[in-house]
Structure 1
Amino acid sequence: MLETDYKKCIEACLECLVICKQCAVACLNEKEVEHLKKCIKTNLECAAICNAAVEAMSLNGKFSKELCSICVKACEACAEECEIHAKMGMKHCEECAKACRECAKICKEMAA
């Protein structure tokens, strides 16, 4: 049975993970990828950290809160990077930034 305390956070992390990966792929499909390298790397790292947090929470692991704290930092960094590109009209980065901000907020609550 899924630990109800973690349910909301797991869902937010899973959504963020998927959107970060989709954003990375969308960035790779842009005509000029060179200026998106940092964004792509940040997307993939954020997705990996979200995944680790989900894994720990699904096990009701003792490091869940610590991983959620790290997830907050990764999501905030990803949101900041994506917001730069969102201002240039990249819709996928705008959506990613929103998902990351939401995930950071929920993870922060979980880590407290």
Structure 2
Amino acid sequence: MQKTQKAGQATKMTKEMQQCLEACLTCHNMCEQAMTDCLQKGGGQAEMQVMRAIMDCSEMTRTCADMMMRRSPMMAEMCAMCARACDMCAEACMRMPEAPHLAECADSCRRCAEMCRAMAGAAA
């Protein structure tokens, strides 16, 4: 059975939550930078698939960070979804090894995915 929090009851921001929050915000920033670089570079169909993964990850990490900051009761589920989006983004970015900014984005995504998986498990 999953623990639920009572309406109006805020949970304390733990060290793990703070680390996950920071990982989400860092990942969001890296995705935004990668998108900017990709848009300036232009590209074909492969780049568009990578862009979709980056955009999904960017939005998911921002939303996940927002939910952690307000201690949403849906935070665990969002962290699990965020981890999945980060994994997908990291995989997509690694398909283009000639782009160093995408390798940096993939590293950030992997770290965020790891933190979010831990947070989703801890909150369940």
TM-score (norm 2): 0.83
Cα distance in 2, alignment partners of residues 41 and 22 from structure 1: 14
Structure 1 runs of 4+ off > 2 angstroms? none
Larger mean CA deviation between 33-42 and 51-60 belongs to: 33-42
**Number of matched residues?**
108
Cα distance in 2, alignment partners of residues 92 and 99 from structure 1: 11
Cα distance in 1, alignment partners of residues 89 and 103 from structure 2: 11
Query: Equivalent residue for 1:90?
Result: 99
Q: Pick the structure with more helix per residue.
A: 1
From 52, 72, 79, the equivalent of 1:68 is 79
Cα distance in 2, alignment partners of residues 99 and 109 from structure 1: 16
Larger radius of gyration: 2
Code of the aligned partner of 1:33: G
TM-score (norm 1): 0.92
Code of the aligned partner of 2:77: E
From 29, 45, 50, the equivalent of 2:61 is 50
Q: Does 1:110 align with 2:119?
A: yes
Cα distance in 1, alignment partners of residues 111 and 57 from structure 2: 13
From 22, 27, 32, the equivalent of 1:11 is 22
Cα distance in 2, alignment partners of residues 107 and 45 from structure 1: 15
Note the residue ranges of structure 1 that are not aligned, 5 or more in a row: none
Identity of aligned residues (%): 31
Larger mean CA deviation between 3-12 and 72-81 belongs to: 3-12
